[in-house]
Structure 1
Amino acid sequence: MNNVTLLGMPGAGKSTIGVLLAKALGYDFLDTDLLIQNEEGMLLREIIAKKGLDQFKKIEERVNASVQVDKTVIAPGGSVIYGAKAMEHLASISKVVYLKLSYQELEKRLGDLTKRGVVFEKGQTLRDLYHERTPLYEKYAHVSINVDGLGIGEVLEEVLQNL
């Protein structure tokens, strides 16, 4: 198992840390949201707007469940944890690291969620989403790292020490 998958809420630093981690390990970096956008020919928010949340989640699960890489840091979207097949696959091909943020820190880091392509049900708040996803991240993670108050370099160091 020589891949690493970074899990966490939007704004947790999956892409930022992922690129730095890949450089530190001499690995490739894969943002699976970009794979989804390439396959669908649309931005995430356009896919959600045109096809709906349920269809987006199916596409996300299919794309993440089909990832075949070696020596790669994988950064899937935060909603990947809704797809059991995708998560079982990622857990089988990589060490899964959960970048854990407190709700307060998450609120500070996030701007306009619709621009980020965040998967929300109608009427759902950020707090609802946080409480819905946290147990799923914890369920699939091999390692959890609390990133509250840590700088990028400190998070990278923590991840490297836990691999």
Structure 2
Amino acid sequence: MNTNNIILIGMPGAGKSTIGVVLAKKLGYTFIDSDLVIQEKEHMLLHEIISQKGLDGFNEVENKINAQLDVSHSIIATGGSVVYGKEAMQHLSSIGTIIYLCLPFDDLVKRLGDLEERGVSMRPEQTLLDLYRERTPLYEKYADITINCSDISIREIVGLIAKKLNK
């Protein structure tokens, strides 16, 4: 089992994919977006999976696919809801270092566009603030390293991550 991966977790809009690509280039790693892996394996877009299988069905698919990722020397940008999958998080913890890209709620609101179009997995009665409050303790629980991404550039975030990983 390889333990040399870097796994990025955090809310939608925190910058996991963007930062992941830049970090992969800097460190010479492969970049994997687990949402794209899910879409590829399911032959559907995220919002189509959610509308067809419901939220619980989507979370099951996400958990199963992330729990089976078999990669090495990779930066893995996960979907924001990956932390609901116990098996996925245990597996990801076992194959690398989990980094939580933390963003204050107000910053998140500014960054996010249409939540449905993004395939954000949330219940109809939930607000973004509800979701933020529900997920934050889970991100904190699973994180090996937390990076506050408020008011700093992508380059600075990547530098901070590299420094914390001694790379």
Q: Do both proteins adopt the same fold according to a TM-score greater than 0.5, normalized to the shorter chain?
A: yes
Q: TM-score, normalised by structure 2?
A: 0.96
Give 4+ residue runs of structure 1 displaced > 3 Å after superposition: none
In 2, Cα distance between equivalents of 1:87 and 1:17: 20
Q: Which residue of 2 aligns with 1:147?
A: 149
Using the TM superposition, give the Cα deviation of residue 161 of structure 1 relative to its aligned residue in structure 2, in angstroms: 1.1
Percent identical residues = 56
> Are 1:7 and 2:23 an aligned pair?
no
In 1, Cα distance between equivalents of 2:35 and 2:131: 19
- Cα offsets for 1:22-71 (capped at 9, x unmatched): 11111101001011101111100000011111100000000000001010
In 2, Cα distance between equivalents of 1:39 and 1:15: 19
Q: Which residue of 2 aligns with 1:62?
A: 64
- Cα offsets for 1:88-142 (capped at 9, x unmatched): 1001101000000000111111111001000001210000000000000000000
Q: Which residue of 2 aligns with 1:121?
A: 123
Count residues in correspondence: 163
RMSD: 0.6
Q: Which residue of 1 aligns with 2:90?
A: 88
Q: Which runs of 5+ in 1 are unaligned?
A: none
Give the partner amino acid of 1:21: L
In 1, Cα distance between equivalents of 2:124 and 2:17: 27
In 2, Cα distance between equivalents of 1:31 and 1:91: 17
Give the partner amino acid of 1:35: V
Give the partner amino acid of 2:5: N
Q: Which residue of 1 aligns with 2:77?
A: 75
Give the partner amino acid of 1:60: E
Q: TM-score, normalised by structure 1?
A: 0.99
> Are 1:98 and 2:100 an aligned pair?
yes
Q: Which residue of 2 aligns with 1:16?
A: 18
